[in-house]
Amino acid sequence: MTVYLDYNATAPMHDAVFDIMTTVLRETGNASSVHQFGRRARNHVESSRRDVAALVGARAQNVVFTGGGTEANNLALACSTGSLLIVAATEHVSVLEAAENIEIVPVDARGLIDLEVLETRLALGEGPTIVSVMAANNETGVLQPIAEIAKLVHAHGALLHSDFIQAAGRVELDMNRDGVDFASLSAHKIGGPQGVGALIMRDDAAPTPLIRGGGQERGHRAGTENVAGIAGFGAAARLAGAAIGNMAEVERLRNDLEKRVLEIAPGAVVFDQGAPRLPNTSCLAMPGVKAEIQIMGLDLAGVAVSAGSACSSGKVQPSHVLSAMGVEAATAACAIRISLGLATTAADIDEFLDAWGSFIHRVAKYDAPSGK
């Protein structure tokens, strides 16, 4: 049996997404051409633009398609040149490395940004400022109070960018309601294709283009659009929006998994159970058993999980997220991430627990509660 529990790295592509992409790939036409072939391609792009915008409560005209979430983050923060960029300590590396003039705001033990430190730094008023705080952490699933952060940021005349990539399709999002100036999305986190993303902005906001040399995407991102990928993104966005109510069942499965993990191994650590989290994400550690050992053991048993971000060239590295939360290095080195999706079943959870429990008892020589 093969069990996939790494949705935060990439979600399996929906059949409907594959179907529409296959159809579009068989068609000919550049979305910038004015003849009927070009108009058909343009229709795919604009229809998808509306669907992606709807997923986060935005206007279609404010969606800029990119080559992925990392590019979307970089595009949003490209306008930080000459400005101060303030970010939370647990941001994705594509935000942490987006600029040189950057200041880090600490988080508490639950992974929530320290709003007092943020306000103190904003109050200094040292010129144009952009703040970047992700809606949901990719490793722990912790949800930040984005609306509250936006009010604070705007009160000091700054702009707010939020990485919506993990939150999209898993919790309700509305960037206008919450006061977000720029939001980033990625298709493959919601069952769409890899290599397609979007930056969404408020009506009067405009990023500084990273890629120049064409008028595509209203001049915000030059280059011929990936029509098939964008069509797949739109289909995935429609499906994610329609199914978001089903995430309650995913959360029930996640909670059951964590409860049973602690029954199998009372010495295990489940991070952030007391914080608001994505319904699909669990980050846990088995002290004494390195993450890479657990991942390899589970993989041999046909179960796929990860050790945090998948953006480290396949390497298992210490988690800057857990470190920022004050987790000891030895414990953080033993942390794995389990992320579920709408296709996850109770049988998948049973399979994971059987494989993980057997492996932990064997490798760590851990005594079960019964003492046997």
As annotated, the active-site residues are 311
Q: Which of 140, 110, 181 is nearest to 278 (CA)?
A: 140
The torsion angles phi and psi of 89, rounded to 5 degrees, stand at: -65, -20
- Residue 281, φ and ψ in degrees, nearest 5: -115, 135
Here the tokens at position 140 are 């722990």
Helix or strand holding residue 45 (H, E): helix 36-55
Torsion, Cα 290 252 90 156, to 10 degrees, reads: -170
Please spell the DSSP secondary structure of 232-290, one letter per residue. HHHHHHHHHHHHGGGHHHHHHHHHHHHHHHHHH-TT-EETTTTS-B-TTEEEEE-TTS-
- With contact defined as beta carbons under 8 Å apart, do 182 and 66 qualify? no
Rg (CA), the chain: 21
